[in-house]
Chains A and B, each alone.
Chain A
Amino acid sequence: MINLFKIAIRNLIRYKRRTLLTASLITIGVIFVLVFVSITGSFKSMMIGQITDSMLGHLQIHRKGYVASIDNLPLNLNMKPKAYTKIATVLSATPEVETFSPRLKFGGMFSNFTETTNIRLNGVYPEKEFQTVPLLASRISEGKRGLNRGEILIPILLAKGLKVKLGDTVVIVATNADGSVNGKQFIVSGILESATGPGGRDGYVHIEDAAEVLRMSEAEISEVAVRLKDFSRLSSAVRQLESKTAGDVNKEGRPLFEVHSWEQLSPFFNIARMIDVMTFFIKIMLIAIVLISIMNVMIMAVYERIREIGTIAAIGTLPGRIRSMFIIEGFCLGIVGAATGVLLGAAVILIVNFVGIRFDFGQQQGLLLKATLQPADLLTVSVIVIIVAVAASLQPAIKASKMEPIEALRHV
C-alpha cells in the first residue's frame, strides 16, 4: 500500500503544473465553502440567539389553542393559576430546563394624556424574565435595566411616536376577560430597542400590575417561556415536555397544553432553513468542482500513461492493483486540496473576524458577525472532497484496469 502511495504521489509530482492547478481549484472551492458555511452559520446562530435570548426563549408552553389565536392575545385562553402550577412543577423537575418565565400577555391602549395608541404588553416577573431572555436587558437603550411594580418598559417606536420620555407617566387601559375596561398609570422606566420577530415590539410591565389592570385576583398565564441548559438538545426537550404534559387533558379529553420550540414560533426559522438550503447547494457546487476537475485530470493521466499501464499489466500487475494506483492518485489529490483548503479557509475566517463584518438585521443595527468554524463543518467538507475525489477517479481507474496489455503496449 505504501508503494502505491509512493507511485501515486510521484505521478502527481511528475505533472506539477496540472496537479497544482487541480489542487488549487479544489482548494479555492473548499475555502469558498468554509467561508460561506462559517459566515452563514454564524449569522444563523447569531440571529437565532438574538431571537431566542431577547424575547422568545428556547421554547414556550401555552394552553392548547393559544398560539393559533396569538394575534388577538385572547385572555380566555390563558392558563389558570392551578394549571400554571402544574407546568411550573413539570419544568422544575426537568433537568434540561435552566429557567422559565411565565408571562401574562394582553393588548391595551397606551395614552400619554394627549395621544392614545394601541400596545401589546407582557406582564412578567422581571427577575425570571431577565434570566430566561438574557438579551432583553441589552435591548433597554434608555433607563435602568430592571422593572419594578408601577413601571413600564415601552418600545422605542412608541416612545418616539408619542414623544414619551423616561420618567413620564402614561396610562394603560385594557379590556378585562369579563368585557369590562380598566386602566392604570405607569411610570416609563425604560425604552426598548425593537427586535425582529414576534414580540419584538411589545412593552413590559410587572405581572402583578398586569393582573391588576385585567382585574385578576391571581395572575393567569398566557405563555411560559423556557430557557434550556443546552440549546442543541431543543428537540429532545420539546419531546420530553410534550410527553410530560400529554397527561393533562380537558373535559373533552384533548391535551390541555401545547409545547412549541422557537422554530414553530418565529418566521426566522424559514430564513434559517433557506440558509441551510443555500449551504447545501454550495456544497453541491464544491462536489461538482472536485468531481469534474479530478475526473478530468485522471482521464488525462490514464490516457497519457497507456503504455505504462500496458507494461505493468504485462509484467503481471493484477487489474485491481492498477485500479488502486489511479484511485489513490485521485485520493491524494483530494487530500492535498482539502488540507490546503481547510488551512487557507481557516486563515480567511481569521482575517474576516479581524476585519469585523457589521450588518443590520431588521431594527437591529451594527450587529458584529463573529464567523466561527465548527470542527464538524471542517470534517464534513474534507470528507466530501476526499470521497468525491475517490469517486471521480473510479471511472478512469476502472478503464485503466480493464485495458488489454497488448493493446496498451501498442499505443503510441
Chain B
Amino acid sequence: MALIKAQNITKDYQTEDVVVHALQEVDFEIEPASFVSFVGPSGSGKTTILNLIGCLDKPTAGNMRIADTEVVGLGRKESAAFRGRHLGFIFQDFNLIPVLTVYENIEYPLIMVQNIAPQERKERISRMLAAVDMAGQAHKYPHQISGGQKQRVAVARALVTNPALVLADEPTANLDSHTAYAVIGLMKKMRDDFGTTFIFSTHDTKIVGEAEVIFRLEDGRLTAKEIKGGQGHD
C-alpha cells in the first residue's frame, strides 16, 4: 500500500495581477522506504510539492493521503500534530536552533512535539548521535560545528521521532561535494536501517543519481517518473 497517494493536485498562487499555476493536476504515489527525488528546473513546482506533502501548505484542488490520513482537510493544529507524528524535515540551511546544543537539537522534537519519556529519549538520541557519527560533538552548539556536521544533526533530528517520511528540500545545496555525498550516504543508510521514506526536491545531480525513484517536473506538471532498475514512463 502506498505511503503517499496524491490525486489531481493543483496549486495556484494569486499574485497582484496574475494567477501562477505552480502545480497542475499532479498524480503520484510513493511507496514506503523509498528514496525519491523530485527534480526539475527552478519554478517547476518541486518545493511546492514538498510543502504540500509536508502539510505546510494546502493544495487549491485535489486530494492527498499520507500514512492513511487525508491531509488536505487538516486544520492548523491537526497539521502540526500530524507533522510531529509522521514527518521529519531537513532544510537547505540546516535550521538548527542556535541556543540548543547538538544533543538538545536532536532532543527537541522528542520533548516539545512527542513527549517521549526521559529514558527512551536518551536511548534514541544516543542511537541517532552514533548513527550520524556526532556522538563526540553532542555538547557543541550549532555555531561550533561545520556545515556538513550541521546537516548530519538535522538528519538525526528528522529521524529521531521515527517518522514514516522525511522531506528534504535541497539538502545538499549548501554543502561541498564530498560532504554532500557523505550526507546522501547517511540518509540512504538511515533508510536502510529504519525503513524511512526520503523525499527530496533538488537539482543536485549527486542526489538525483542516488535516488531510486525520480519524478520530473516541468511548469507545474509531472512529466516523467523514473524508477532505477525498473521501467520509467513519460
Contacts and interface: CB of A to CB of B under 8 A. Distances in A.
B89 A314 contact: yes
Contacts of A17: none
Interface stretch (B15-23, B24-32, B76-84, B124-132): B76-84
Interface stretch (B105-113, B175-183, B203-211, B215-223): B105-113
Given A315-B109, A406-B57, A7 B84 contact: no
Interface stretch (B65-73, B90-98, B186-194, B226-234): B90-98
A409 interface: yes
A7 B99 contact: yes
B80 A311 contact: no
Interface stretch (A118-126, A281-289, A316-324, A332-340): A316-324
A318 B89 contact: no
Nearest to B98: A14
B225 interface: no
Given A7-B100, A409-B91, A317 B84 contact: yes
7 contacts: A14-B98, A311-B97, A316-B82, A316-B87, A316-B109, A317-B84, A406-B57
A128 interface: no
B108 A314 contact: no
A307 B109 contact: no
A13 B80 CA distance: 29
B113 A316 contact: yes
A315 B51 contact: no
A175 interface: no
A242 to B, nearest CB: 60
B77 A312 contact: no
B56 A315 contact: no
Q: Kindly list the 6 A-B residue pairs having the minimum CB-CB distance in the complex, ordered from nearest.
A: A316-B84, A10-B99, A316-B113, A311-B95, A316-B83, A406-B56
Nearest to B95: A311
B77 A318 contact: yes
Contacts of A319: 76-77, 80
Given A10-B99, A14-B99, A317-B113, A311 B81 contact: no
B100 A10 contact: yes
A314 B90 CA distance: 10
B88 interface: yes
Nearest to B141: A10
B85 interface: yes
A359 B100 CA distance: 56
A404 B80 CA distance: 11
B162 to A, nearest CB: 13
A14 B141 CA distance: 12
A316 B100 contact: no
Given A315-B109, A317-B112, A318-B81, A406 B97 contact: no
B171 interface: no
A312 B99 CA distance: 13
Contacts of B100: 7, 10
Given A13-B99, A311-B97, 15 more contacts: A3-B112, A10-B100, A307-B95, A308-B95, A308-B98, A314-B54, A314-B89, A315-B84, A315-B89, A316-B80, A316-B114, A318-B80, A318-B81, A406-B51, A409-B56
B46 interface: no
B150 interface: no
A405 interface: yes
Instruction: Pick from B57, B80, B111 the residue with the most CB of A within 10 Å.
Output: B80
Interface of B: 51, 54, 56-57, 76-77, 80-85, 87-89, 91, 93, 95, 97-100, 108-109, 111-114, 157-158, 161
Interface SS majority for chain A: helix
A64 to B, nearest CB: 69
B103 to A, nearest CB: 13
B159 to A, nearest CB: 12
Contacts of A11: 99
A311 B77 contact: no
A298 to B, nearest CB: 16
A32 B212 CA distance: 69
Contacts of A307: 93, 95
Contacts of B91: 311, 409
A313 interface: yes
Contacts of A311: 89, 91, 95, 97
Nearest to A13: B99
B57 to A, nearest CB: 5
Nearest to A325: B112
Nearest to A402: B76
A3 B158 CA distance: 19
Which of B97, B98, B100, B112 has most A Cβ within 10 Å? B112
B233 to A, nearest CB: 31
Contacts of A13: 99
Contacts of B93: 307
A321 B112 contact: yes
A10 B85 CA distance: 27
A312 B112 contact: yes
A344 B51 CA distance: 52
A152 B106 CA distance: 89
Interface in A397-411: 404-406, 409
B85 A316 contact: yes
A376 to B, nearest CB: 38
B113 to A, nearest CB: 4
A98 to B, nearest CB: 61
Nearest to A4: B112
